[in-house]
Chains A and B, each alone.
Chain A
Amino acid sequence: MLKKLAVICSLILSTPAFATNSPISGNVQAKCSIWTETQGVYGNPLPNKLDTLPASGGTKASIRVDIAQANFYKTRFTHPISFSSSPTLSDTVAWTGSTVVGQVSVAGMSAYEAAKVVSPSNVTTFDMTLAGSTWFTVSSTAMYGYAKSFPAGSYVAQIVAECIAK
């Protein structure tokens, strides 16, 4: 009798429980972002030379790559070997350039410079093994013909910065 009463009481007194959906939401964030900090500018120190070196009156391009997750991406930089637009040129242009590691947010990223792979000569690949921000400095030089002046006009060349999932 007492047992029955206890069961009835517990049924009456128990608070109702409601079933409800409890969603778990989340966003997938980019793990690699390319930030163009400084677009390079060519200086024209000699009639037959365009150069991004500050000593030549130019500005090197600075590109920041943010890696949110270590070891998932490599980055690749291609410095120009042709103008994307220019006046008509009757002679060949000799191109040189480089991509180097600038500032780093994690000290270990300085090792990227020694581990970089340059192949072919205008493409530099870095393996992004650490999370954080790395600034890359891209320089470019164009020499025109033999003792010839670049024709007057506007010259545009393109740097390509890439983030490639490994």
Chain B
Amino acid sequence: MRLLLTLIFIFSFTNSFAHEMTPAYPKFSNSYINNVSTTKMKLFNKREDISYYKVEVLTNDWKPIAFASTNKIIKLGYNKTILFDVYVQTKDIKHVVYICTVSKNFKQEKKVTLVASRICSKID
């Protein structure tokens, strides 16, 4: 009955868009560069209205930490998935708590309100 209700709720809305990122609890491992650690993340864009996502690496207080990635702003089409690596200096690893992706809207967007979505994984 609960499952049926869930399905009814889900399918009663047709025009919805999602943003997903995995894993929820990533782990850093040594990269091929000395003193740099890396982890691999997967981003899925099911938001038709969004084409760009920004990657963030943050402390427990939501302060940014320097990192490197193939692209800090990822261009990702609708219904597409991308794997991306995040590189952080090993000395900073103990401060890293969240890796987030945030949807980016165009400033000149004509819609009256916009919904930005942000998904944060927590370092295990």
Contact = CB atoms under 8 A, between A and B. Distances in A.
A156 B113 contact: yes
Interface in B65-124: 98, 100, 102, 105, 107-122
Contact of A39 (B102, B107, B114): B114
B34 interface: no
Interface residues of A, number: 44
Contacts of A40: 112-113, 115
A35 B48 CA distance: 11
A20 interface: no
Contacts, number: 129
Contacts of B24: 30-32, 72-73, 165
Contacts of B111: 39, 156
B6 to A, nearest CB: 4
A39 B21 contact: no
A140 B112 CA distance: 12
Contacts of B44: 30
B23 to A, nearest CB: 5
Contact of A140 (B9, B22, B108, B113): B113
A7 B109 CA distance: 83
Contacts of B5: 105
6 contacts: A32-B24, A35-B16, A39-B115, A42-B113, A157-B113, A161-B118
A84 interface: yes
Given A133-B9, A163-B119, A41 B112 contact: yes
Contacts of B122: 164-166
B32 interface: no
